[in-house]
Amino acid sequence: MVKAGNKAESLRGAVPLSHYFLRERVQPGDLVVDATCGNGFDTLLLAQLVGETGRVWAFDVQPRAIAATRELLEREGCRARVELVETGHERLAESVPPGVRAVAFNLGYLPGGDSTLITDPGNTVLALSQAAELLTPGGFITIALYTGHAGGPEEASAVEGWAALLHPGRFNVWRHRQLNRPDTAPYLVLVERIR
Amino acid sequence: MVKAGNKAESLRGAVPLSHYFLRERVQPGDLVVDATCGNGFDTLLLAQLVGETGRVWAFDVQPRAIAATRELLEREGCRARVELVETGHERLAESVPPGVRAVAFNLGYLPGGDSTLITDPGNTVLALSQAAELLTPGGFITIALYTGHAGGPEEASAVEGWAALLHPGRFNVWRHRQLNRPDTAPYLVLVERIR
């Protein structure tokens, strides 16, 4: 079982860094979102962090991603606290109420799946805008970005363009890149709502 | 008094982000270093985080910085656990033993001091190299960088050049920049020793 709250994880990539922020800031009882559930690992971490009193909404447009996530959650005994939504994350605001502590985006394609089925930059930006408005003050969005596959650089550029326009009085926006890795290494954008 | 362990601080700049990592990872009993004590605020935070059983080494080449830090530590009752070293941080390894959890660098000039007395890029890189070798596995260096004053861009470039060459099998190296702020906004480099 993934150890929720393990602080010793090495910051060896964009996803471990996103987990670091999630573990530090998500509390039992929180409302959180996995905008791209993929194989369900982030959904599981979120479900463990919010506990039985919290709630997770997990989105994916691909039925096999939803099925893999459901199976993982059932195996780990966390299924009941997770709402699985088989639809694109650009419809996030239709299912999720305001007051959200954290929204995790892990972009690119489904690991082990069809690499031509990638997240669409326009839909991603729509989803991000909705997510930003649903955050509670102090809440945040993590966005793991991949530029090594076809369409990746365009998506990263759309996300950065959106993030750069967020008002600095309302949002802290950080881009985290690894200086001693190739330029194509996955990286992380963090958007924190101030008030 | 600065509230050690306060998790709610907004990530509104490079120094708050560095405090975030320090608060999360520094434990009572740890050995830590403030490589640029300045007015002593980071030294005080470190002293509070390591507690009575820990040890802090605080460096500054300017006597008035050492004096300001001493006064702050005395006022807050943390003086006994801090070694004040009035010398440039390029001589760090002469005073500090191996096994260090964290080393904080806050570059640029002394706030309220003479802005022409700036940290020297060559000395900074020497200090960073020594700091990296003194870290315990899982230990880390935070480096707040300023590019808005004369000499700032050269210093930042020297630090990034040093960091980019660290072996990815031994160190995780992150550069954290704010996407919705001017390019001259202070930013943070984080170096984590893996093993």
- Nearest CA distance, B75 vs chain A (angstrom): 31
User: Are A180 and B194 inside 8 Å of each other by CB?
Assistant: no
CA distance B128 to B163: 9
Measured between CA atoms, the residue of chain B closest to residue A186 is B174
In sequence order, which residues have a C-beta less than 8 Å from that of residue A63 and are 6 or more positions away?
Answer: A86
Residues of chain B in Cβ contact (below 8 Å) with chain A: 7-8, 10-12, 17, 20, 24-25, 138, 160, 163-168, 171-181, 189-190, 192, 194
Chain B interface, mutation test: which of A142, A179, A190, A193, most B Cβ atoms within 10 Å? A179
- Looking at residue A40, what DSSP letter applies? S
> Which chain B residues are Cβ-neighbours of A177 within 8 angstroms?
174-175
The minimum CA-CA distance between B136 and chain A, rounded to whole Å, is 13
Per-residue pLDDT of chain A (195 residues; tens, 9 = 90+): 333 444 557 898 999 999 999 999 999 999 999 999 999 999 999 999 999 999 999 999 999 999 999 999 999 999 999 999 999 999 999 999 999 999 999 997 766 676 667 778 889 999 999 999 999 999 999 999 999 888 889 999 999 999 999 999 999 999 999 999 998 999 999 999 998
Which tokens is A116 given? 């031509």
B49 chain-A contacts, CB cut-off 8 A? none
Residue of B nearest to A17 (CA): B174
A173 CB burial (10 A radius; 0-12, 13-18, 19+): buried
ipTM: 0.85
Looking at per-residue confidence, does B2 or A154 come out higher? A154
Q: Give the nearest chain A residue to B160 (CA atoms).
A: A179
Q: Of B113, B100, B126, B116, nearest to B34 (Cα)?
A: B100
Nearest to A172 among B10, B160, B166 (CB): B10
Q: How far is it, in rounded angstroms, from Cα B152 to Cα B155?
A: 5
Q: Strand locations in A107-178, DSSP E? A: 135-145, 171-178
Work out the minimum CA distance from A128 to partner chain B, whole angstroms. 15
pLDDT band at B2 (very low <50, low <70, confident <90, very high): very low
Domain ranges of chain A: 10-193
- The CATH class of B10-193 is alpha beta
Burial class (CB in 10 A: 0-12, 13-18, 19+), A98: exposed
Task: Count CA atoms within 13 Å of residue A115 on its CB side.
Answer: 8
Closest CA to B10 of A126, A74, A195, A55: A195
**HSE of A183 in the Cβ direction (CA atoms, 13 Å)?**
3
- Please enumerate residues of A whose Cβ is less than 8 A from a Cβ of B: 7-8, 10-12, 17, 20, 24-25, 138, 160, 163-168, 171-181, 189-190, 192, 194
pTM value is 0.89
Residues sharing a CB contact under 8 Å with residue B76, sequence separation 6 or more, in sequence order: B1, B44, B47, B48
